[in-house]
Amino acid sequence: MSTPRQVALLIEATNAYARGLLRGVARYTHERVRWTVYFEPHALDEPPPRWLSGWKGDGILARIGSRRMAKAVLAAGVPVVELRRIHSIAGVPCIGPDNQEVTRLGLEHLRERGFHQFGFCGFPRGLDPPMDGRAHAFLRHAQAAGLPCSLFPAERNSNWAQEQSRLVRWVRSLPKPAGIMTCNDGRGLQVLRACFQARIPVPDQVAVLGAGNDDCLCGLAHPPLSSIDLAPELIGYEAAALLDRLMAGARSASRPLLMAPRGIVTRLSTDVLATQDQTVAKAVALIRERACDGLRVGEVLRHVGLSRTALEPRLKRVLGRTVHQEISHVRIEHAKTLLSTTDLPTKQIAGRTGFRHVQYLTRVFHKATGQTPALYRRRTLNPAPVGP
C-alpha cells in the first residue's frame, strides 16, 4: 500500500461552521482517501502552531485569520486550500459559501412572509470582506427588486454596550413591519436582543433571519432564530477533494470556488405572515398547513368565504402569487426539504407533497427550479462548486 499523504488541518473547532467543515473533511477521508491528519484545537486568532515551521507534509487545509498565519502556511511550501477568504493570497485557491445565493435565498424567504421593508446587519466595513460581500449582495438583490433596504451602519472600536444601543436605535428607525437578515447567527442574536430592548415584537413587527444555522446559538435566541444552512460539511468535503487534486499535481483554481447554501431552517423568528389583511393570512395559513395533503383552490376559497377574483388580487399584493401558485410553491419547498434531508424514493416524496404521481412532481419541479428532483438531490448532497 502507498504511504498516506500527510495533511494539516488549520481549522478552529470553536464554532459550528468550522466543526461542520471538519466533518466534511472527515467524510472525504473515509470515503475517498486515507490521510494522516495533523490537527490540534485552536482559536481562529491564535499564532501559527510551532510544529508548522519544521513540518514535512503534503498539503494544508486552513482558515487563515491573520497575515502571520498566511505567511507561515505559505512557508510550508505545500499545496494549500483556504476556507475563510479574509486574506487574499496569490496562488492559493479558496472555497466558501456563495454569498450571492445566500442573500438571494434570505431575501426570498423574508418576501415570502409578506415583508416589503428590509434591513441587513453586518460587521463594520473592512473587518471581514466576505461578510461585507454578503451585506452588499443583499442590498443589490433588494434594489434589483425595487425594495427599500437599510444597512446597519456598524462602527469599529465600539464596545458591546455602545453597539447594542445603536442597534436599538436602528431597529426602531426601520419602517414596520420589516424583515432583517444578519450576516451570521451571532449577529442575529444581537438584533433579537435589540428588538427586545426596543419592545418590538418578533416576528410580528420585525422578523430576523441569520446565516450559519448554528443550532446552539439559534436555540439560545428568543424567539429561536431562523437561519440559512451554509452546508459547511459539503464545503469541507469539496475543499478536501480540491486539496487531493492539487497534491496529485492539478493546477490551482484562479477564482474562489463558491458553494450554494443547503436551504433555510425556519424557526419562530420568521414564522409569520406580515400583512394586515386577515383574510389573506387565513388563506395562507390553510395553504401552508394542508398544501401537501392535496388541497385544492376551491377549498381555500370556501375557507375564507371569497371568490377567486376577490381573493387572488389581495394574495398577489402580499406574496406575488395566485392561490394555485402558492399551493404549488409550498409543495415544491417541502419536496426540496425531503430531497435534501432524506433518502426517500421520489415516488414517496411525490405522495408526501400532494402530487398525484412522480411525473407530475417532476414536471412542476423542473418548471420551478430548472432541475429534475433527481438532479436537485445530487447537487444538494454533493454540489459542484462554481468556478474552474
Domains present along the chain, CATH in parentheses: 5-95+232-259 (3.40.50.2300), 99-231+264-270 (3.40.50.2300), 278-376 (1.10.10.60)
Q: What's the pLDDT at 388?
A: 36
Looking at the chain, the whole-number percentage of residues with pLDDT higher than 90 is 63
Quick one: average pLDDT of 339-368? 90
DSSP per-residue letters across 190-202: HHHHHHHHTT--T
**pLDDT score for 1:** 52
Distance CA 270, CA 70 (A): 39
Confidence of residue 384 (pLDDT cuts 50, 70, 90): very low
Query: b/e string for 159-184 if b means 16 or more Cβ within 10 A?
Result: eeeebeebbbebbeebeebbbbbbbb
Interhelix angle for 358-369 vs 323-341, to 10°? Answer: 100
**Per-residue cell: 333:** 419547498
Q: Please, are residues 353 and 334 in contact by the beta-carbon 8 Å criterion? A: yes
Mean pLDDT value across residues 212-237:
93
Mean pLDDT along residues 366-373: 90
Supply the pLDDT for residue 381: 63
At residue 253, the pLDDT reads 74
pLDDT band at residue 222, thresholds of 50, 70 and 90?
Answer: confident
| 198 has pLDDT over 70 | yes
Q: What is the spatial distance between Cα 302 and Cα 363, in angstroms, rounded to a whole number?
A: 28
Average pLDDT over the chain reads 90
Question: Over 90: is that where the pLDDT of 148 sits?
Answer: yes
Q: What is the pLDDT of residue 85?
A: 79
DSSP secondary structure, 334-346, as one string: HHHHHHHH----H
Task: Say whether 151 sits in a helix, a strand or coil.
Answer: strand
Q: What is the pTM of this model?
A: 0.79
Look up cell 497534491; give the residue: 247
pLDDT value of position 386 = 42
Distance of alpha carbon 370 from alpha carbon 105, whole angstroms: 16
pLDDT digit string, tens, across residues 7-41 = 999 999 889 999 999 999 999 999 888 899 999 88
Alpha-carbon span 184 to 280, nearest angstrom: 32
Q: Which helix (H) or strand (E) holds 35?
A: strand 35-38
User: How do residues 271-300 score in pLDDT, each as one tens digit?
Assistant: 887 777 889 888 988 898 899 998 999 999
Nearest residue to 85 (alpha-carbon basis) of 70, 101, 100, 103: 70
- Residue-wise pLDDT tens digits, 161-187: 999 999 999 999 999 999 999 999 999
DSSP tag of 269: G
Residue 268: its pLDDT value, please?
Answer: 86
Q: Is 80 exceeded by the pLDDT of residue 382? A: no
